[in-house]
Each structure stands twice: as structure tokens, then as C-alpha cells.
Structure 1
Amino acid sequence: MTAALRMLAYDASADQCAEICRMGESTTLECMKFFCQQVEGLFGEEYLRAPTPTDLRRLLARGNKGNFQNCPSGWGGAYSGRKGRPTIILESVASYDTWIWHAFFGVPGAQNDINVLGQSPVFDKVIAGNSPTVVFHVNGKRYNNAYYLADGIYPRYSTFVKTISNPTTQSQKLFAKKQEAYRKDVERCFGILQSQWAILRHGAPMHKRSTLRSIMMTCIILHNMIVEDEFVEEEFVEPVEEDLMNPLASQVYDGPVDWNGVRIPFTPVQRNGINQQAFWDRIENLESAYIHTMLQNDLVEHNWAIEANQ
């Protein structure tokens, strides 16, 4: 464990640990691999989980939302990325306390964000109808889909709220300023992650892709453990004011609900126990550019109205 943690935290090589741990280089590498596999196997379910309804209520109450970004780590061969170096992409969702709620690692760095999204399991539970439902009202309209704050490169899905690249009006400029400020949480999270685990800052040419994934997941799990142990909510409490990006009038349900807030029962029909019509309806709602545009416009007006009142 000492050798594994020194390699993860300080990017020490296997032979650098020999003097302290008195193990050969190959034995030290095997210990590090075994340590990462066991951490992921024992703690992955708890510390790499998607937000539960309780987690969502806490996040909404705090008024910050998760983000959606990429961060590279090293590998070789066909994984040469856009910067001319071998890279593997990490897709993640992080909240204000830098807890990482979703991590998808292993896509070659030569691919763009849209291709990564197409392979990511981030919306699997939404499409399957197993995710919690967040209902909120903004600008006099009701929405029943939670959303991520994302870069402009991502598609116009109802689950993404992107910045306005060329804002022209004062209300649009205010919205872009707030959206981009909230999105800094994920960049701060990556900075902390790399400062804690130096192995993520440099290339790892001796490791296989499966080993790199295990190392990445282990670092994220240990990072979330540190956040859970050290983060004190009261230190970050600010004066109570209405959140400009997430309306306070929101409710979280364990599953799909109708417009009256009544739980929709799961009634499997047709093939493989899946309601085919409901399945495609959820995909259509997820990928709706109309809902995306309407939500963005409503948030712009909502923020501007609050600013004017203040």
C-alpha cells in the first residue's frame, strides 16, 4: 500500500520505492495494479455512484450544478490527441464541492466531445427511465428534466444548458457570465485531482489501457473519499439569495412523474420487458433541441428579472 500510494500521489517510479518498501520493481508494479483493482472493486459502487434523490436535493439546495468537461491522461499509439500527444479522455460530472459524480475514461484523445458523448453511459438511466426526476419552474414554465452546464461544443439536448457564445443583449450577457462562472467548478475539480495525484499529470507509457483506467478510477474514488472526509458545508455557506441558474422552486422524485407529480408506474410491454414507445419518447425528449432552446431562453429571462428586482 505504501508503494502504491507513493506512485499515485507523487508519481514515484517503481525503483524509487525500492529503498523504502524493499521490493523489486516488478513486484511494486503488481502491488500498485492490485491496489487499484481492489479499491475500485470495493468502493466503486459507493464513491462512483450517480446522484441519488437525496444527493440531488442537497445539490439543488446549495444552488450549484454539475459540469461536463474533458481532461486528458497519457497513453500511446492510435490515441494521439489533438495536441500531438498520446491522450485518453476523461469525461466527468462534478459539483460545487468537487465531488465527481460520473466518470467515463478510455476514449482516444483524437475524438471530439460529441463522439465521446455518443459512447458515454451518462444518460443511460435517463433513457431507461430509472433516474430521479427533477421538477422546477422557471419564467412561468414547468420543466421536468435536470440539466448539466456544458461547453458550447455539445449538442442542443434538453439536458444541457450551454453558454451563449456571442451575447448581444444585457440579459444574454448576464446569463453567459453566470453560466460560465458556475462551470468553473469542474476545472477546479480537475486541478485538485491532479495536485493530489501526481501520476495523472504525466504520461504512463508502461501501463496498459485497462491498468490506466483502474488507476484513474482509483484516484477519483480516493479523491471523493477525501472530499467526504474534509469538506465542511458550513465553510461555504453564503448569504441566502435566490440562485440565478437554478430556481429554488424545485422538487426531486425517485422516478418518472406526470404533470400532477404522481409517480408513473413501470409497465413493461412488448419486447424484452421494455416499453418501446416510452423508451423512444425518452430519447426524443432528451435530444430535443426545442426544449433546449426554450429552457435557455427562459433562464435568460429568469436571471434578468431577478437582477432587475435586486
Structure 2
Amino acid sequence: MDRDREDEIYEEAVDIANAYYPLQALEATDFLEQEEVENEGPSIPRAPRRHFSRDSEGKAKQLYNNYFSDDPTFPLDKFRRRYRMSKSLFIRICQGIINFNQEPIPPYFTYFKKKDATGQWGFNVFQKCTSAIRQLAYGVAPDIFDEYLHMGESTSYLCLENFCKSVLHLYLAEYLRTPNAHDVQRFISKHEEIHGFPGMLGSIDCMHGGWKNCPVAWKGQYTRGDHGYPTIMLEAVASYDTWIWHAYFGPAGSNNDINVLNQSDLFKDLLKDELPPCNYTVNELQFRRGYYLADGIYPEWSTLVKSFKNTNDLKAKKFKRFQESAIKDIERTFGILQGRFAITKNSARQFYIKMIQNIMYTCVLLHNMITEDNGRAFCELEEEYPSARRPRQLNLHERLELHMRMDKELRDKSSHHFLRDNLIEHVWSLPPNHRIRYDPTAGPSNVPEHVNDVRP
């Protein structure tokens, strides 16, 4: 608006004010004139945006000389300590991101190979992935490594966001997949050798992750009394090798394990009757559906095996000791996950649940990739086995009937007690020291052949 138009509006306002409130208009006019005189004085200059001269090229050479050259400054054990993985695995991830060329290329892949606003190449893929990995590993603020990488806060945050999206795009289908028939038979046999539980698929439990910047309006539904601060829950299923076969993250922390189980997709294949075959024998009885070990809060379903709270029966006591020993697999997995990636243990600084979910699932994928790279995984992911069952083409009425029938079988308490009673008899026939630790260097099995012949 030009100066003349402002003067016209001011004069019209004065005329209207004088017609109705002459005294108040006089005071207002004096105030406006005094303010105009003050504004005509010397104005305070606005501080310009600060610019830091960041030597991205020099820091790239320093990073290369420290870790990636033929004669690096820091040895491989220091690399594993700070990156939480081997150098070969880190380079494999970087190459997968930079070499992705499937059209259309998502923007989170192009972020790692684009030029800055001046048309110059900025930080390379090693610098950006290093910033993302360090944030996941140490759970610190994005600009904590500014002195070493010369990377600002906003750039570091974008590195973490795009790194998580890229890793999920590349490795989600492979490293967080549903186990096929071969996988099921392999870790069922391993669990029977190690824990003495035939048909055991793994252990299930939930973990809370803090949320520091939870919106005030949501704090009530994300806060539970035993924690006292907003949390988000992670449901996971893990085997003895600490491989996470199922992960469901996102429910509000005010829920318990039962609420999360009812929301997750753990039994979606069971409800569709598309599970791979799982045949095993307990007490000379054939069973065709595997189970998960769970703690006392979980419901008595046919696919969950719980322990006892208090019992005086010797058989039940031995079963309780074996079951509580075997269920520690999931507790060890949570401990290793939080130890490797402190961002899963510290309170999340992000404002959006979707970003926190991407971070958590990325940590789970990297955890499984590290487990495979260390040679401790039971199953070899390079092998491809055909699915045992193909999805059936059913109409709406048939799908509804199938879902109701399978849901009834899933929640059948009698099947739960029948399976547990037979497992109690099976465990009672095992020697007290049956449970052994798995040694991946000892071959397919390091259980003595005579171990099952010993009786208590």
C-alpha cells in the first residue's frame, strides 16, 4: 500500500472518530503522531542469517583416512564399536543406497547423490550415512558431530530421515519377512535342541520406548502409571539367535501387552489359514501348529504357552524353570537392540510418530543384518524356498467363515491347556541340565546324542 493511500485511510478514521468520540479521538491522534515520530528515528538493523564455512571436502578426506583407506587410522574393532557393524556391512548398505536405479527413483535415494544450491557436490554418501548411524548408535542430538563432520543440525536430521527410509525400502522385505516352511522347521529344531521345547517358534514380549516431544494433547493416552512419561510400545518375536521375526511398533504406551497383541498382525496368516506346515511330536502326540512362549499377562490362546504363577507340583516347577529360562530370548534381544542403538532406549526427539516408527524399524532391520553378518543367524536368507501354500481365492462369505473358524481355534483355551500339559510331561522327561548354549562354530548341533536318554 502506497503512502498516499495510507494518509487517506488515516484522515477518514480521524473524521469518523471526531464525529462520535471527540475526546478519545484527540488522545488517539496524539498517540499515533507520537508513534510516527518515534518510527522516523534510526531503525535497528536486523541480524543477517549466519553462515559457517564448512569444509565438506576436507572432512570427507579425513573420514576416508580414518576408516576407509587401505591403511586407516582406526582399526576394524574401533569401526565396529562406533558404527555398531562391520565395515563390509556398512559399505554394502552405502553401495545399495547409491546404486539404486529402479525408476521412478524415490526422493530419499536421490538425497544421497545430489548437488547443493550452488551446483557443487556437498557431503558424500559415507558422510551422510555416518551421521545417520552415529545418531542411531548414540541417541544424541543431530549436530553433536558438527566438529567432526562439519554437518549442521538440519542436514544431519535430513540424513537420518532419508537413511531410514532408504534402508526400509531396500531391506524390509528380506530382513523382516514372515518365516517360510524351511525357516520354521530349522529354528523349531534348534529350539528343541537348545531349550527342549518341540514346536517352539520363538518368544514374544513388548518394550516401551520414550517419547520426549510428545504433544501435550496426546500425553494422556501415551503415558502409563508405571512409567510416568509418554512411551510408544514395540511388540516383537525373537528366536534364540536374537533374530527378530516380527515387529509391531506404534501403539500408545498406555496400552498393555494384550491390547497390542489384538492390534498387531502377528496372526494374520493363521487367520487366513496360510501358515507354513509345522509338524512336531510331544508325548507321542502329533501337533500341527507352532507356539510362542509368553509371560503371565498374555491370554491363554492355542499358540501361546505360559508358565505358572505359583505351584507346588514338581513337574510344574520344572516346566516353570525351563519356560522362564527359554523366554529370556526376547529379553536378551531387547537388551542387545538397546545396547547397539541407544536411540531406541532414549526418549525420541521427533515430533511425528511416522518418523519414530521409521527409526525403530530401521534399528530392527540393522539388528537382523548385524546378526546375519556375525554368522549367528539360524536361517540363511540367500536361499529361496517356494511357499508351502498359495493364497486361496475365496469370496466374501467364505473368507468370513474361515476367519471366524480360525479365530475360534486361536482363542481356544482347551487347546492351550492340552498343549501345555503335554509339554509339562515332555519337560519332566528331560535331564535337569538339558538346556545348553548354542555355538554356531560347532556345526548343525552341539547336543550330545545321549542327552535325551537321561532321566531325572
Instruction: Please state which band the TM-score falls in when normalised by the shorter chain.
Output: 0.7 to 0.9
Deviation of 1:140 (Å):
3.0
Residue segments in structure 1 that go unaligned for 5+ positions in a row? 235-252, 257-264
Separation in 2 of the partners of 1:266 and 1:101?
Answer: 21
Report the counterpart of residue 37 of structure 2 in structure 1.
none
1:134 to 257, 278, 293: 278
1:223 to 347, 364, 367: 367
- Residues 46-90 of structure 1: CA deviation (Å, up to 9, x unaligned): 011121111112101212541111111122323112311211000
Q: Size of the alignment, in residue pairs?
A: 283
Query: Quick check: 1:309 aligned with 2:434?
Result: no
Secondary structure in structure 1 of the residue aligned to 2:204: strand
Query: Quick check: 1:11 aligned with 2:136?
Result: no
Deviation of 1:233 (Å):
6.9
Tell me which amino acid in the other structure corresponds to 2:396: R
Q: Which one has a bigger Cα radius of gyration?
A: 2
Separation in 1 of the partners of 2:131 and 2:419?
Answer: 50
Separation in 2 of the partners of 1:108 and 1:100?
Answer: 21
C-alpha change, 1:266 and 1:38, in structure 2 (3 Å) is: closer
Separation in 1 of the partners of 2:208 and 2:376?
Answer: 29
Where do 1:1-310 residues align within 5 Å? 1-63=129-191, 65=200, 66-75=202-211, 76=214, 77=219, 78-82=221-225, 83-232=227-376, 255=388, 268-271=393-396, 274-307=398-431, 309-310=455-456
Tell me which amino acid in the other structure corresponds to 2:455: N
C-alpha change, 1:214 and 1:277, in structure 2 (3 Å) is: same
Deviation of 1:255 (Å):
4.7
Tell me which amino acid in the other structure corresponds to 1:271: L
Secondary structure in structure 2 of the residue aligned to 1:134: coil
The answer to whether the Cα contact below 8 Å between 1:106 and 1:209 also exists between their aligned partners in 2 is: yes
Separation in 1 of the partners of 2:150 and 2:418?
Answer: 63
Kindly report the root-mean-square deviation, in angstroms, between the aligned alpha carbons of the 2 structures.
Answer: 2.1
Residue segments in structure 2 that go unaligned for 5+ positions in a row? 1-128, 379-385, 432-453
Separation in 1 of the partners of 2:167 and 2:410?
Answer: 34
Separation in 1 of the partners of 2:327 and 2:374?
Answer: 22
C-alpha change, 1:32 and 1:254, in structure 2 (3 Å) is: closer
Separation in 2 of the partners of 1:267 and 1:54?
Answer: 21
Separation in 1 of the partners of 2:395 and 2:206?
Answer: 38
Separation in 2 of the partners of 1:267 and 1:13?
Answer: 49
Separation in 2 of the partners of 1:267 and 1:81?
Answer: 42
Tell me which amino acid in the other structure corresponds to 1:161: V
TM-score, normalised with respect to structure 2 = 0.59
4+ runs deviating over 6 angstroms: none
The answer to whether the Cα contact below 8 Å between 1:81 and 1:108 also exists between their aligned partners in 2 is: no
* Aligned sequence identity (%): 39
Q: Which has the higher strand share?
A: 1
Deviation of 1:207 (Å):
3.5
The answer to whether the Cα contact below 8 Å between 1:74 and 1:205 also exists between their aligned partners in 2 is: no
Flag the structure with more relative contact order, 1 or 2, with Cα contacts below 8 A and sequence separation at least 6: 1
